[in-house]
């Protein structure tokens, strides 16, 4: 994709100043303008996952997040920002294998963090937090999309298919293959059983 219109924002640990701000304030400067495409590699949903499980925030801050996130996203959509929320779901065994492979490969060792190791130890807590996040923040204007990602290549292709299918644009081909709903699907109570436990 064109680097002029495409940006990736991967938020790091908040500064002491950011910790005093409105939670969403640290993300607002990175939102897209017209014809921009911004990928949040992790996003404000860190509050519902990593921050909650690792006790980087209080229970009250998590609750405030859940009370604010749906109105916040609805406001963005009303203002013309299209939101697509994808959760890349992998099994515990696959995650363990990927972490082992990264530790051995000098080109990917930088990806491993102390939080990753603790994540494996807190798998059940992360799964519980994920399920709460889905049920409390999937809504009509910004539903969660689940992408079963044990097979990276297949997952990448299905995400691209699903993303393209979700937009109307000039020159869109009617011959584009539909996304495989066995791999990528909208979250629902019924679909919740298909995610890794």
**Domains along the sequence of the chain with CATH:** 1-83 (3.40.50.300), 87-197 (3.40.50.300)
Statement: residue 17 has pLDDT above 70: yes
Statement: residue 101 has pLDDT above 90: no
Statement: residue 192 has pLDDT above 90: no
* Per-residue pLDDT tens digits for 139-167: 999 999 999 999 999 999 999 999 999 99
Q: Which residues contact 147 (CB under 8 A, 6 or more apart)?
A: 86, 87, 88, 89, 155, 158, 159, 162, 183, 184
Q: State mean pLDDT over 11-16.
A: 85
What's the pLDDT at 13?
81
What's the pLDDT at 196?
67
Statement: residue 3 has pLDDT above 70: yes
| 3-class DSSP state of 169 | coil
Q: How far apart (Å, rounded) are the C-alpha atoms in residues 132 and 143?
A: 14
What's the pLDDT at 35?
87
- Are 58 and 64 in contact by the 8 Å Cβ rule? The answer is no
Of 184, 112, 111, nearest to 146 by C-alpha is: 184
Residue whose entry in the numeric block shows the structure tokens 């897209």: 32
Q: State mean pLDDT over 112-134.
A: 87
- Are 178 and 165 in contact by the 8 Å Cβ rule? The answer is yes
What's the pLDDT at 169?
87
- Provide the 10 A C-beta neighbour count for residue 22: 10
What's the pLDDT at 162?
96
Q: State mean pLDDT over 45-65.
A: 94
């Amino acid at each position: 994709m064109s680097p002029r219109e495409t940006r990736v924002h991967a938020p790091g640990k908040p500064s002491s100043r950011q910790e005093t701000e409105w939670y969403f304030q640290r993300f607002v400067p990175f939102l897209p303008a017209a014809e921009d495409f911004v990928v949040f590699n992790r996003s404000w949903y860190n509050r519902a996952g990593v921050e909650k499980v690792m006790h980087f925030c209080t229970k009250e801050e998590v609750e405030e997040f859940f009370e604010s996130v749906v109105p916040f996203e609805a406001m963005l959509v009303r203002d013309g920002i299209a939101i697509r929320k994808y959760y890349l779901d992998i099994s515990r065994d696959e995650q363990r294998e990927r972490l082992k492979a990264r530790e051995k490969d000098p080109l990917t060792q930088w990806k491993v963090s102390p939080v990753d190791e603790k994540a494996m130890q807190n798998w059940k807590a992360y799964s519980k937090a994920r399920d709460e996040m889905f049920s409390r923040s999937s809504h009509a204007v910004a539903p969660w999309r689940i992408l079963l990602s044990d097979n990276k290549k297949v997952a990448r292709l299905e995400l691209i298919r699903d993303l393209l299918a979700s937009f109307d644009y000039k020159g869109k081909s009617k011959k584009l293959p539909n996304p495989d709903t066995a791999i990528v699907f909208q979250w629902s109570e019924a679909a919740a059983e298909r995610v890794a436990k």
